[in-house]
């Protein structure tokens, strides 16, 4: 590996840190805005649920996310502040569906101690000022002027140093804050201050309250008419105002999030550390508070944020489990819960540990993560692209095409599967035993190859062969009408929908037919100058049965053409360039946007934006999906269109946030596919692969099923989600895989909160690597924590063992003084402890300790840490015959390390607690021992994520013909659920991409005017330096999402063609 590294996100952050609700995109539209640390998502609340509108990166870690409405505005603005003291105010542009920056700035101070309890950002309810608590003893004020514009910020001294929470109070003539703080005796109090904007100072507020619950940690300001504030403690909840004080005891809990239900502030939802959701009600008479009531509603994920949407729908954002959309019912269910979970949104965070395995032995790595925490702990199996579950298969060699048909026009399910061969057509159907068996449709011609089939109106079916078009009754199965090809001509290619047929005969003849009740009418004939290679009339307009456009791919001049129907007038001609003919063409709609997809014979796919009114093709883009000809077919799921591209590297094309995405399918080659949604196999696909027809299901969220043909085999299956979740109900924090016995071993902790005192039980558990069921458990001693585990073997011993390192963490003891090394063998599916060794202190040195245990080599290089501080990276040399560890080199920069990995003999990768990555290089050629013993920093980069683990491996199948096939990669997992890839590049490629990155920074501006260069600068308490020898793959790959004019601008600056740039960037996307 090299020092020139490319860092790219394979799985975006999923940990929800903030959320808010308001009228952001329109005065009439209700929006949910979600922050996931370094990204924001904007959703629209619709009768069908939450509809995503925008998902954009923010060049910073989001510390504050608040909606507000300045005076005179009809809709809300969004205020964002980042952990590195940048802020911006964003407004939605409805015309372009983009974010506009209304204000931006830097609120950092040269001196000041950053607050220990995290930044606090609040906005006055009357939009007079924004308040920020960033440094101990200071409150920063950003005032608004009369027009809603931000004025210059200033600081006010704050006496309280240990601030726990600050909020603005409602209903005050002057801006008033309420401060929850802890004094030097650990007692907690609240105090109010008026903000005097003219004097730039605080004035003593209207009231204060001393000696609150020792666990008080959250303030909830109450809007008019009640006003005041609710103070949430661990054992009490208090309502406080200038003229009222009400308190109620609660079951001991730590409230993590709240959401206001009513505009008048009389009801609030509270989420606690155990995932319990409560309703807090303020009882009042004539605007006078009379008391508080709290009621348990049910259980959700452990919430980090709660947003009440509307009509009893609530969004629960979580950092420890999946986020949820829930409905609050008026009546409890059988378990007494009022909470109904409607939707789950996958969250991989926090990824505490993971391993890379090839469970299906297909040459593609899958990441198995220890995700979540507490009761929401789980294992997640994450695969790149889409997985296949085979449901049924039959061996059928030489398949040339497949189509599913229904027995009547209004039948919701498919009945027939038509399979075409070189000299015959066979028809399969589901029998009463839900088995595929051969049947007949008497009106079909079965002695010839079928070119195309489709359901038609009036309970009819269409079959196109080289000699004719046949119209057949789907109920009686008899022939009703036939259109024959002209004498001396045969039909070469054809397509159809429910009311139309378009076909081409030799000599460039294009014929258009319309389907009636028992009649086929030739409407138009056109003579083209060249032969036709492919056709499509998939309806993409308002009428789902009739297309007003026809797409035609041409031989000889290598072009695609758009004709109008029914008159077959040419309205657009688009030369494709090159010498490779179009082999499949498709009109389709993704997220309301019309596209033309054109697949070439060499595995490339072109996509164009299609103007359905004029037929114009714009914004041409080209991607490489494989090396063999591609066949395109649509299939639907949840009323959403997806496209299956069958080829040597099968791919599903779909759209997210109005961006086309491509996910590879974990099959080597698929030649044909069609949807097959039968009553017995709902939502399946039929595929033909490797001589079999197979019915399959796919691993991907909300996908339907298809039939796929792979080289003589027909398969049936469905798409399922590419993230598989194995809920544990406990927190797994270490994992490793043992190939020999096909098991995983995990270290986990179960939190028991049912007794009067919380307790913890620690385990080492064995799981089957296919079913993920617990098959054996070893319970550790009281106070004994499992810190590390690996699979290993010893010299002169063919057995493979699990070795675990533990520590005894005793109450009131700062550092563990005792631990154990445990050696297990798996026998008959059980964990058998065969050896143990007591250690002095904690054996959490993971790789270092485990190398000692597991390898009996002459010399081994490894990482160790200083035992208590985890501060300095060192390389040590193990000399077994002397029983000693000798230091060979060290990095003299003090970094609080979170993960390390060896890239090669001389280059090492590290991650530290300020969310940075860096590489160090051993100076093996140094002239003196001192030079050779120093690790020099080779690369620095701000990732913006806390990395828990690095691991060598790949998420994709490495194809030998790919330029990136030989590039070594390291995978990392983070607290926010990010899975990323670090690839070591050749120097020449690095320089090219560095220049591309530099040009992209000029064209792609960060949301809120935030600087990409500053964001990626290595930053800790001691220094900030520009990134070096690391490239931001997310920025580079965003080149593929640019419109053509911006691509041309970059192409000109790079003096490289757009096609070449696209090709080189697309190759990089194959790394993940």
The 3-class SS string of 57-93 reads ECCCCEEEEEEECCCCCCCCEEEEEECCCEEEEEEEE
CA atoms of 3 and 314, how far apart (whole Å)? 47
pLDDT at 2: 79
Name the token pair of 182: 């802890």
Kindly state the average pLDDT of the residues 418-433. 86
pLDDT digits (tens, 9 = 90+) for 36-91: 999 999 999 988 888 888 899 999 999 999 999 998 889 999 999 999 999 999 99
How far, in Å, CA of 844 to CA of 733, rounded?
A: 12
pLDDT (tens digit per residue) in 320-369:
999 999 999 999 999 999 999 999 999 998 999 999 988 766 666 789 99
**What is the average per-residue pLDDT within 533-559?**
91
Portion of the chain with pLDDT greater than 90, in percent: 56
967-971 contacts at long range (C-beta below 8 A, 24 or more positions apart) = 967/1071, 968/1, 968/903, 969/1071, 970/901, 970/903, 970/909, 971/10, 971/354, 971/356, 971/365, 971/367
Distance CA 398, CA 468 (A): 22
Instruction: Write down the mean pLDDT value for the chain.
Output: 86
Coil, helix or strand at residue 612: coil
At 843 the pLDDT is: 63
The whole-number pLDDT of residue 716 equals: 41
Q: CA 549, CA 562: separation in Å to the nearest integer? A: 7
Per-residue pLDDT of 268-282, as tens digits, reads 999 999 899 999 999
Q: What is the three-class DSSP state of 1056?
A: coil
The CA-atom distances, in angstroms, between 900 and each of 844, 903, 942, 1024, 1031 are 14, 10, 16, 21, 19
d(CA 392, CA 396): 13
List strands edge to edge, sheet with 604-610: 582-590, 593-600, 604-610, 617-624
| Residues, the chain | 1072
User: What's the pLDDT tens digit per position in 681-694?
Assistant: 777 777 777 677 77
pLDDT at position 888 over 90 = no
Longest dimension (CA), the chain: 102
Confirm if 458 and 517 have CB atoms less than 8 A apart: yes
Q: What pLDDT was estimated at residue 698?
A: 61
Give pTM, 2 decimals. 0.80
Token pair for 145: 């002027």
User: 659 vs 285, which has greater pLDDT?
Assistant: 285
pLDDT value, residue 191? 94
**Residue 857, pLDDT above cutoff 50:** no
- Residue range 876-885, pLDDT digits in tens: 544 555 566 7
Residue 882 is given by DSSP the state G
Helices 987-1003, 1044-1054: crossing angle, 10 deg rounding: 130
- Is 748:775 a contact under the CB 8 Å cutoff? no
**Nearest by Cα to 830 from 765, 749, 780:** 765
DSSP annotation of 709 reads: E
Give mean pLDDT, residues 707-731.
61
Q: In sequence order, what DSSP letters do the residues of 508-531 get, joined into one string?
A: TEEEEEEE-SS-EEEEEEEE-SS-
Inform me whether the pLDDT recorded for 711 exceeds 50. no
Cβ–Cβ < 8 Å for 378, 372: yes
CA neighbor of 764 nearest in space, from 740, 789, 739: 789
Contact 368, 385 (CB under 8 A): no
- Distances, alpha carbon 189 to alpha carbons 160, 180, 185, 231, 879, in Å: 10, 6, 11, 10, 59
Q: Name the band, by pLDDT with cuts 50, 70 and 90, for residue 627.
A: confident
Tokens of 830: 């059980």
Contact 536, 516 (CB under 8 A): no
**How is the chain split among helix, strand and coil, in percent rounded to 5?**
5, 50, 40
- Which of 198-212, 748-762, 969-983, 993-1007 bottoms out in mean pLDDT, i.e. has the lowest? 748-762
CA gap 23, 32 in Å, rounded: 9
**pLDDT exceeds 80 at position 864:** no
What is the arithmetic mean of pLDDT over 135-163?
A: 91
């Amino acid at each position: 590996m090299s020092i020139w590294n490319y860092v790219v996100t394979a799985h975006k952050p999923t940990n929800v840190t903030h959320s808010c609700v308001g009228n952001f995109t329109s005065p009439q539209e209700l929006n949910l805005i979600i922050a996931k640390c370094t990204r924001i998502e904007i959703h629209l609340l619709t009768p069908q649920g939450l509809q995503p509108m925008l998902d954009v990166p923010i060049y910073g870690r989001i510390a504050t996310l608040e909606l507000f409405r300045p005076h005179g505005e009809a809709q809300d603005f969004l205020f964002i502040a980042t952990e590195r003291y940048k802020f911006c105010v964003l407004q939605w542009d409805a015309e372009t569906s983009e974010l506009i920056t209304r204000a931006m700035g830097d609120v950092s101070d040269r001196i000041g101690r950053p607050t220990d309890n995290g930044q606090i950002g609040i906005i006055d309810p009357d939009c007079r000022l924004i308040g920020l608590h960033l440094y101990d003893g200071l409150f920063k004020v950003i005032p608004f002027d009369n027009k809603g514009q931000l004025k210059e910020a200033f600081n006010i001294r704050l006496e309280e140093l240990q601030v726990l929470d600050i909020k603005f109070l409602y209903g005050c003539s002057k801006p008033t804050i309420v401060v929850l703080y802890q004094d030097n005796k650990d007692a907690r109090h609240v105090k109010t201050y008026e903000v005097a904007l003219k004097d730039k100072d605080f004035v003593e507020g209207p009231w204060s309250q001393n000696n609150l619950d020792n666990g008080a940690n959250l303030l909830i300001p109450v809007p008019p008419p009640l006003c005041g504030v609710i103070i949430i403690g661990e054992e009490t909840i208090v309502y406080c105002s200038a003229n009222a004080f009400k308190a109620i005891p609660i079951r001991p809990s730590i409230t993590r999030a709240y959401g206001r239900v009513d505009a008048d502030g009389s009801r609030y939802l509270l989420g606690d550390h155990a995932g319990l959701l409560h309703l807090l009600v303020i009882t009042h008479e004539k605007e006078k508070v009379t008391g508080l009531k709290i009621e348990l509603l049910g259980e959700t994920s452990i919430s980090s944020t709660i947003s009440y949407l509307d009509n009893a729908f609530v969004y629960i954002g979580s950092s420890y489990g999946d986020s949820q959309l829930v409905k609050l019912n008026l009546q409890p269910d059988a378990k007494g819960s009022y909470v109904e979970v409607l939707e789950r949104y996958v969250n991989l965070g926090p990824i505490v540990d993971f391993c890379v395995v090839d469970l299906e032995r297909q040459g593609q790595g899958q990441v198995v993560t220890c995700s979540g925490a507490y009761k929401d702990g789980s294992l997640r199996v994450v695969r790149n692209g889409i997985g296949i579950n085979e449901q049924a298969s039959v061996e059928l060699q030489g398949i040339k095409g497949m189509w599913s048909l229904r027995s009547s026009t209004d039948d919701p399910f498919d009945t027939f599967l038509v399979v075409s061969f070189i000299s015959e057509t066979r028809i399969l159907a589901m029998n009463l035993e839900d088995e595929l068996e051969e049947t007949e449709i008497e009106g079909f011609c079965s002695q010839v190859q079928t070119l195309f089939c489709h359901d038609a109106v009036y309970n009819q079916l269409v079959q196109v062969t080289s000699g004719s078009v046949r119209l057949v009754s789907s109920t009686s199965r008899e022939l009703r009408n036939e259109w024959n090809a002209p004498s001396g001509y045969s039909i070469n290619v054809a397509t159809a929908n429910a009311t139309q047929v378009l076909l081409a005969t030799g000599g460039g003849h294009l014929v258009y037919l319309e389907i009636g009740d028992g009649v086929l009418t030739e409407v138009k004939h056109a003579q083209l100058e060249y032969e036709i290679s492919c056709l499509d009339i998939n309806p993409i307009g308002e009428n789902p049965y009739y297309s007003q456009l026809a797409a035609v791919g041409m031989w000889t001049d290598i072009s695609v053409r758009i004709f109008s129907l029914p008159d077959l007038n040419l309205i657009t001609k688009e030369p494709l360039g090159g010498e490779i003919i179009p082999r499949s063409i498709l009109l389709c709609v993704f997220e309301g946007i019309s596209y033309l997809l054109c697949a070439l014979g060499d595995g490339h796919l072109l996509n164009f934006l299609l103007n359905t009114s004029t037929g114009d093709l714009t914004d041409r883009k080209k991607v490489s999906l494989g090396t063999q000809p591609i066949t395109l077919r649509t299939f639907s799921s949840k009323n959403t269109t997806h496209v299956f591209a069958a080829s040597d590297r099968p791919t599903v094309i779909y759209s997210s946030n109005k961006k086309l995405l491509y996910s590879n399918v974990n099959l080597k080659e698929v030649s044909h596919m069609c949807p097959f949604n039968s009553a017995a196999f709902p939502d399946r696909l039929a595929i033909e692969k490797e001589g079999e027809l197979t019915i399959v299901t796919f691993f991907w969220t909300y996908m339907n099923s298809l039939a796929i043909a792979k080289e003589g085999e027909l398969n049936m299956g469905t798409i399922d989600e590419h993230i598989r979740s194995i809920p544990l109900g406990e927190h797994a924090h270490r994992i490793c895989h043992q190939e020999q016995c096909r098991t995983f071993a995990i270290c986990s902790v179960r939190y028991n909160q049912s007794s009067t005192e919380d307790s913890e039980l620690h385990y080492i558990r064995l799981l089957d690597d296919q079913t993920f069921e617990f098959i054996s458990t070893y319970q550790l001693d009281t106070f004994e924590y499992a810190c590390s585990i690996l699979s290993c073997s010893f010299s002169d011993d063919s057995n493979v063992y699990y070795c675990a390192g533990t520590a005894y963490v005793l109450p009131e003891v700062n550092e563990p003084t005792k631990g154990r090394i445990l050696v297990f063998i798996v026998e008959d599916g059980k964990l058998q402890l065969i050896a143990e060794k007591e250690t002095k202190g904690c054996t959490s040195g993971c790789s270092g300790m485990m190398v000692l245990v597991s390898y009996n080599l002459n010399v081994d290089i490894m990482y160790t840490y200083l035992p208590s501080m985890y501060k300095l990276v060192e390389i040590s040399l193990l000399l077994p015959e002397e029983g000693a560890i000798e230091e060979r080199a060290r990095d003299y920069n003090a970094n609080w390390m979170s993960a390390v990995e060896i890239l090669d003999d001389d280059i090492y990768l590290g991650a530290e607690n300020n969310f940075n990555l860096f590489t160090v290089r051993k100076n093996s050629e140094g002239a003196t021992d001192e030079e050779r013993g120093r690790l020099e920093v080779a690369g620095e980069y701000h990732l913006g994520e806390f990395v828990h683990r690095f691991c060598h491996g790949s998420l994709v199948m490495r194809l030998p013909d790919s330029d990136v096939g030989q590039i070594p990669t390291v995978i990392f997992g983070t607290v926010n659920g990010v899975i990323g890839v670090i690839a070591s590049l050749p120097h020449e490629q690095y320089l090219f991409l560095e220049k591309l990155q530099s040009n992209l920074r000029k064209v792609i501006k960060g949301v809120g005017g935030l600087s990409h260069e500053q964001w990626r600068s290595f930053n800790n308490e001691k220094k900030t330096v520009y990134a070096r020898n690391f490239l931001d793959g997310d920025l580079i790959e965003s080149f593929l999402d640019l419109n053509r004019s911006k691509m041309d601008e970059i192409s000109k600056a790079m003096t490289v063609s757009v096609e070449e740039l696209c090709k080189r960037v697309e190759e990089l996307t194959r790394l993940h």
